[in-house]
């Protein structure tokens, strides 16, 4: 069960704000909590196309590796934000990696774990 602060952030998110409370609770309970410790927690690009992530606390950074081996910062995701929605809904990977910047608490959903969430995503007109 997610704590009340995370539940409040989910309720207020653009993706879920218009849903009934019992459906939000069902979606929240189907998520898996992850903790990224330190500054070097990584989510591999193969996982980015199979799960939807929500930042409960901290910050994640999306990086792309250049041909010369340097990492380039593309985007930051802070507490209260979802990431990988478009990659998950399209089924195509984004060819990036996510790196934590310090301790980060995440909630993630895979397609099998949260059928109600993915029905909402398929019918949503929200663009992230």
pLDDT at 96: 82
- Torsions phi, psi of 45, nearest 5? -60, -30
Looking at domain 4-123, its CATH class is: mainly beta
DSSP one-letter code for 128: -
Cα separations (Å) of 26 from 5, 45, 83, 95, 114?
Answer: 16, 27, 20, 31, 9
pLDDT at 115: 58
User: Per-domain residue ranges for the chain?
Assistant: 4-123
pLDDT at 33: 93
Q: How far apart are CA 128 and CA 117, in angstroms?
A: 16
pLDDT at 126: 46
Please list the pLDDT of the chain residue by residue as tens digits (128 residues): 688 999 999 999 998 888 889 888 988 888 899 999 877 788 887 788 778 899 999 999 988 888 898 889 999 999 999 988 766 666 666 678 889 989 999 999 876 555 566 666 655 544 43
Q: What angle do CA 107, 111, 116 make, to 5 degrees?
A: 85
Predicted TM-score (pTM) of this structure: 0.83
Cα separations (Å) of 99 from 46, 52, 122?
Answer: 14, 15, 27
pLDDT at 84: 81
């Amino acid at each position: 069960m997610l704590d009340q602060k995370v539940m409040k952030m989910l309720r207020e998110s653009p993706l879920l704000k218009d849903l009934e409370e019992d459906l939000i609770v069902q979606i929240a309970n189907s998520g898996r909590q992850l903790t990224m410790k330190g500054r070097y927690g990584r989510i591999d690009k193969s996982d980015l196309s199979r799960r939807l992530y929500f930042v409960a606390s901290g910050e994640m950074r999306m990086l792309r590796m250049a041909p010369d081996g340097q990492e380039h910062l593309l985007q930051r995701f802070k507490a209260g934000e979802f990431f990988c929605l478009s990659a998950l809904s399209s089924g195509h990977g984004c060819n990036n990696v996510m790196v934590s910047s310090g301790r980060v608490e995440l909630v993630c959903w895979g397609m099998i774990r949260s059928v109600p969430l993915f029905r909402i995503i398929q019918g949503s007109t929200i663009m992230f």
